[in-house]
Amino acid sequence: MTAVTTPTKKPVTPARPGQSSPKLAYLPIIFLAFAIGVPLLIIVVYSFLETPSQGTGVKWVFTTDNYRALFIQEKLDGTTAFDTRYIKVLWTSFYYSLITTVVTLVFSVPVAMWIATREARKRTLLVALVTLPFWISILIRTYGIRQIIADEGPIGKFLGLFDISWSILYAPPATILGLIYVFLPFMVLPIYASAERFDFRLAEAAYDLGAKRMTVVRRIILPSIRPGIISGVALVFIPALGSFLQSDMLGGGKTNMVANVIANNFGQARNWPFGSALAVLLIILTLLFVLVIQGVAQRRGDKVELV
Amino acid sequence: MSTTKTPSTKRGKLVNLRNFPGFTSTSWFVMFFLYIPLVYVVIYSFNSSRIGSIWKGFSVKWYGKVLHNTDIQRALKNSLEVGISATILSTLLAVMAALGLLRMQRAGKAVAMALIGAPLIIAEVVLAVGTLGLFIAVGVPLGKVGLIVAHTAFCVPFALLPIRARLSQLDMAPFEAASDLGANERQILRRITLPLLSPAIIAGALLAFAISIDDFITSFFVAGPGSTTLPVYIFGMIRSTVTPEVNAISTLLLLFSSIVLIGSYLIQRKRR
């Protein structure tokens, strides 16, 4: 913190009073390079290494077989065949995340708008109610929804009165419902943040000037809350794509998502290089999605910060 | 936003653009949906029956079991040790990063933001297995130290969020005044910057603590047998047997989360 009042020779942003030296950020950067950068690098390196014939870990021999194994299966008789298992896993993850995003969006816009139009006191309480689940362990929330949708849970019991059988646990709908349940607040809050800033007199002005109700929604209200919608889509889709607990606890292992397969390869299956290749693929898909979202936001001129 | 309700009255009928048909009922449905599972868990934690889904009368015996379960006590202790350490370290790193990044050049800033933001974008399972690989490669034993390192890393972006937001809103006048009156950089940091940032630092620390305490996946891979955290232990409980004990411990954690949230809300309101 010495280079404060002396004019610097290097083209560094000039210090203003109270602005610390950039050197202060070196320690956090070095730490994160070690604890975040290196693990990601290790995953990329491992994905090009061989699996040892026994035990866990990697054998330091370069290979691209792990990526090949994502699409092609080596049969015992030496022939090869196109393998759709892992493409299916990736597709499942993408598809579940998409449904989750769409459903949470459809419900969140009315909720966010409704909260934003309540009086101030009520609004604070309602926002707190939507925020509380943020602070509650996702594990416990997933467990909670499992208790509700279990065969012998309240829904099952109620339908049992009419002799209707209810059994969705340990199947794809349960996983998707769990994802929707867990990630819903992640969609409501950013949309609410945008809706709260919206001046409803604008909508009234448009209406008074002769716009139809739906025109007001389409031309005035939706563009105003679009930054919130874009943030919400990112905040739901990204974690849903890499989610582990919902498919594990609700899908019963029948509906594996990509995170479950990666975890399994680093656990029981003991195939770190293959798990790494799948992880690299997941990273690429996630980054592609981030680029798309940022592209959409930029084209619309919305300022959306994901980081 | 204006709070006066002035429904448009053109075209003969009264139209209130603040109320769309179905929004109220949708909102109530969503609130119901969000809370029913939690309420159900809380109610059934007082169920005396051994079988979770059949109500046999009120009892607090599962709470007694939870409180006397030494495995749970140990897991809770691990969670708190890791959570508190990771909170302190990540908040410290976040303050340093927030202040240092202000004057960093574009390239350096981009690298720093990519590293800080990675845990928000990259699936946790990927970082978790990568961290496992790192610890095995450099010989960090799987246990509390490794857990603290891993938790600190993914807590930094959460701790940073409110600090950066607050920093960008700060009025520069007090800094210039202090500087004109002869305060040196260190005095400005201690007497002006940190006090002005303190509500954001507290908010960041609370967020980091909540994220660390809730973490399951990273802890699952990195904890090792001796340092199981509470979420990892509960996950095991849910997998093996569904005893009403899980309901009781979940209720206790719900209570804890609510207290932390209400506490942070009160702190922020007091400061305003």
ipTM for this model: 0.87
- pLDDT 10s digits, B186-242: 888 888 888 888 888 998 999 899 899 989 999 999 988 888 999 999 999 888 776
Nearest CB among B129, B235, B258 relative to A279 is that of: B129
Rounded to two decimals, what is the model's pTM?
Answer: 0.88
Torsion of CA A194, A200, A203, A205, to 10 degrees: -140
Test B22 with A140 for CB contact under 8 angstroms: no
How would residue A307 be classed by pLDDT, with cut points 50, 70 and 90? very low
How would residue A14 be classed by pLDDT, with cut points 50, 70 and 90? low
What are the domain boundaries of chain B? 62-271
User: In order of start, what are the domains of chain A with their CATH numbers?
Assistant: 22-82 (no CATH), 85-300 (1.10.3720.10)
- Please give the single-letter amino acid code of residue B78: N
Residue A238 in this model has a pLDDT that exceeds 80 = yes
Is A190 in the B-facing interface, judged by CB distances under 8 Å? no
- Which region among A119-133, A211-225, A234-248, B152-166 has the lowest average model confidence (pLDDT)? A211-225
The answer for residues whose C-beta is within 8 angstroms of residue A72's C-beta and 6 or more apart is A80, A81, A82, A83
Nearest CB among A19, A111, A140 relative to B102 is that of: A19
What is the pLDDT at residue A17? 66
- Residue A42 near residue B134 (C-beta atoms within 8 A): yes
User: What is the distance between the terminal CA atoms of chain B, rounded to a whole angstrom?
Assistant: 20
Give how far B78 is from chain A: nearest CA, Å: 16
The answer for residues whose C-beta is within 8 angstroms of residue B104's C-beta and 6 or more apart is A13, A22, A25, B112
Test A36 with B10 for CB contact under 8 angstroms: no
Residue A7 in this model has a pLDDT that exceeds 70 = no
Average pLDDT, chain B: 86
Q: Which CATH class is domain B62-271?
A: mainly alpha
* Count of other CB atoms within 10 angstroms of residue B267: 14
Give how far A300 is from chain B: nearest CA, Å: 22
Can you tell me which residue has the tokens 């246990």? B143
Chain A CB contacts of B134 below 8 Å: 35, 38-39, 42
Choose the mutation target among B1, B35, B243 for the interface with A, i.e. most A CBs under 10 Å. B1
- pLDDT 10s digits, B103-133: 888 888 888 999 999 999 999 999 999 999 9
Between CA B126 and CA A275 the distance in angstroms is 9
